[in-house]
Amino acid sequence: MLTPQEIEEIRREFPILAREVSGKGMVYLDNTATSQTPLSVVDEIHRIYTTSKANVHRGVHTLSQEMTDLQEQSREKIRKYINADSREEVIFTRGTTEAINLVASSFGSRFKRGDEIILTVMEHHANIVPWQLLRDRTGIVLRVVNINDLGELDLNEYASLFNERTVMASFCHVSNVLGTINPVKEMIATAHSHGVPVLIDGAQASPHLRIDVKDLDCDFYVFSAHKMYGPTGIGVLYGKKRWLEEMPPYQGGGEMIAKVTFEHTTYAELPFKFEAGTPDFVGIAAFSKAIDFIENIGIENIADHEHLLMEYTQERMMKIPEMRIFGTAPHKSAVISFLVGRSHPYDLGLLLDKQGVEVRTGHHCAMPLMDRLDIPGTVRASYAVYNTFEEADTFLKALTRAAAILE
Binding site for ligand PMP (CB under 6 A): 33, 95-97, 124, 126-127, 172, 176, 201, 203-204, 224, 365
Give me the least distance between CB of 254 and ligand PMP, in Å please.
23
**Identity of the residue, 127 or 288, whose beta carbon is nearer to ligand PMP in the bound complex:** 127
Neighbours of 193 (CB within 10 A): 10
3-class state of residue 171 by DSSP: strand
Gap between the terminal Cα atoms of the chain: 38
**Identity of the residue, 95 or 356, whose beta carbon is nearer to ligand PMP in the bound complex:** 95
3-class state of residue 325 by DSSP: strand
**Identity of the residue, 232 or 301, whose beta carbon is nearer to ligand PMP in the bound complex:** 232
Give me the least distance between CB of 33 and ligand PMP, in Å please.
6
Beta strands in 102-158 (DSSP E): 116-120, 141-145
Catalytic annotation present for 218 = no
Give me the least distance between CB of 22 and ligand PMP, in Å please.
25
3-class state of residue 368 by DSSP: helix
Give me the least distance between CB of 29 and ligand PMP, in Å please.
15
User: Residue 57: which of 240, 284, 286 has the closest Cα?
Assistant: 284
Cβ–Cβ under 8 Å, residues 157 and 148: no
Cβ–Cβ under 8 Å, residues 325 and 336: yes
**Cα–Cα distance measured from residue 204 to residue 333, given in angstroms and rounded to the nearest whole number:** 9
Read off the amino acid at residue 314. Answer: Q
**Identity of the residue, 349 or 356, whose beta carbon is nearer to ligand PMP in the bound complex:** 349
Catalytic residue of the set 39, 365, 370, 375 = 365
3-class state of residue 259 by DSSP: strand
The CA distances from residue 275 to 117, 224, 393, in Å, are: 26, 16, 45
Give me the least distance between CB of 125 and ligand PMP, in Å please.
8
**Cα–Cα distance measured from residue 184 to residue 200, given in angstroms and rounded to the nearest whole number:** 8
**Cα–Cα distance measured from residue 359 to residue 64, given in angstroms and rounded to the nearest whole number:** 42
Give me the least distance between CB of 403 and ligand PMP, in Å please.
26
Give me the least distance between CB of 374 and ligand PMP, in Å please.
21
Phi-psi region of 190 (alpha: psi -120 to 50; beta: other; left: phi over 0): alpha
**Identity of the residue, 67 or 366, whose beta carbon is nearer to ligand PMP in the bound complex:** 366
Angle, in degrees to the nearest 10, between helices 281-297 and 299-317: 80
**Identity of the residue, 93 or 106, whose beta carbon is nearer to ligand PMP in the bound complex:** 93
Read off the amino acid at residue 195. Answer: G
Peptide bond before residue 183 is cis, with ω within 30 degrees of 0: no
User: What is the residue-wise DSSP string for 282-314?
Assistant: HHHHHHHHHHHHHHHH-HHHHHHHHHHHHHHHH
**Identity of the residue, 38 or 235, whose beta carbon is nearer to ligand PMP in the bound complex:** 235
Pairing between strand 141-145 and 116-120? parallel
Cβ–Cβ under 8 Å, residues 204 and 74: no
**Identity of the residue, 91 or 351, whose beta carbon is nearer to ligand PMP in the bound complex:** 91
Give me the least distance between CB of 12 and ligand PMP, in Å please.
27
Hey, which residues are catalytic here? 365
